[in-house]
Amino acid sequence: VASDADGAVYVELHGTEDGIEEIAECLMELAAEHGSDPDTAWAVSGSSEVEKLHAFRHAAPETCNLFIEEAHRRDPRITKLGTDMQVKGELCGQVSAYRRDLEEANLKGCIFGHGLEGHLHINLLPETCEAYEAGIRLFQTWALQVQEQSGTVLSEHGAGKLKSRIFRDCLGEAYREENQRLKDAYDPEARFNRGNRFT
């Protein structure tokens, strides 16, 4: 990846060789129309090359985790802060808005996720507890915005104790009641995942 790259789009194609070549050619043309440099774009095939690309794709979240582990060693109050929000809409606009919000809050972060679904994971990279607390406030602001856009605050990874604490006051009563109704139906004796829900 070029050192001045601002982002990347990762696409996997599955099918017959002829079909994949045709789709790949269309994708390369579309990417070029939107500012991608065909000379720096990667296109691979074969299991070993695909595995290298898979490793590259997983490097973003793994690098964020390593950053947070180091920050947590310096200050145990700092833990991972990653969104799991999903909003239908124009992806570039969403990314630009999140970047703007991070910059205005003077916070560092890494944005990656599932583009077609509008499901982005914004991982904050706080170096101090003050930045960490500012990140929590920003997450709460985003949660309210996502609800206003009829999006999903928790889409893939569930609440957990941290997100339950962060988002409890941001979610409406109807949402919490629905969570309780489902919990009662599937776990009537409340044996599983205690403390990992909105009530």
What letter would DSSP give residue 128? S
Q: Position 59: which residue type?
A: A
pLDDT tens readout for residues 51-107: 888 888 888 889 999 999 999 999 999 999 888 888 887 777 888 899 999 999 999
Place of tokens 């406030």: 137
**In 3-state terms, what secondary structure has residue 184?**
helix
Are the C-beta atoms of 179 and 198 separated by less than 8 Å?
yes
Cα radius of gyration rounded to whole Å, the chain:
20
Phi, psi of 181 (to 5 degrees): -60, -45
pLDDT in tens, 93-112: 888 899 999 999 999 999 98
